[in-house]
Amino acid sequence: MTAVIDNPMTRSTRAELLRLRKWPAVWVTVAVWVALALMFGYLFPYLSYRTGDLSFAGDGDTRAQLLVEMLPAALPTVLVQGLPMFGGALALVLGAIVAGNGYGWGTWKTVFTQGPSRPTTVGGSLVALTIAVVGILALTLVLFTGVSLVVAGVESQAVTWPAAGALLESFGGGFLVLEMWALLGYTLGTVARGPALAVGLGLVWALVVENLLRGVGALLGPVEAVTEVLPGTAGGSLVGALIDVSANPNETPGILDVLSGGQALVTVTAYCVGLVVLVLVLVRRRDVA
**155-177 per-position pLDDT tens digit:** 989 999 999 999 999 999 999 99
Rounded average pLDDT over 5-23: 85
Decide if pLDDT at 135 tops 70: yes
Decide if pLDDT at 223 tops 70: yes
Decide if pLDDT at 60 tops 60: no
Decide if pLDDT at 93 tops 70: yes
DSSP tag of 123: H
| More confident call, 67 vs 59 | 67
Mean pLDDT score across all residues of the chain: 85
Tell me the angle at which helices 118-154 and 164-192 cross, rounded to the nearest 10 degrees.
Answer: 140
Give the pLDDT score at 2.
46
pTM: 0.89
Q: What percent of the chain has pLDDT over 70?
A: 89
Kindly list the distances between the CA atom of residue 47 and the CA atoms of 29, 57, 151, 166, 202, in Å, as whole numbers in the listed order.
25, 11, 12, 27, 33
Decide if pLDDT at 189 tops 50: yes
Cα separation, 159 vs 73, whole angstroms: 8
* Closest to 234 (Cα-Cα) out of 201, 273, 204, 260: 260
| More confident call, 209 vs 27 | 27
Cα separation, 256 vs 283, whole angstroms: 34
Decide if pLDDT at 145 tops 90: yes
Q: Where is 47: in which H helix or E strand?
A: helix 44-51
| More confident call, 225 vs 125 | 125
Question: 3-state SS of 124-189?
Answer: HHHHHHHHHHHHHHHHHHHHHHHHHHHHHHHCCCCCCCCCHHHHHHHHHHHHHHHHHHHHHHHHHH
Least confident interval from 32-41, 78-87, 243-252: 243-252
Decide if pLDDT at 3 tops 60: no
Decide if pLDDT at 250 tops 60: no
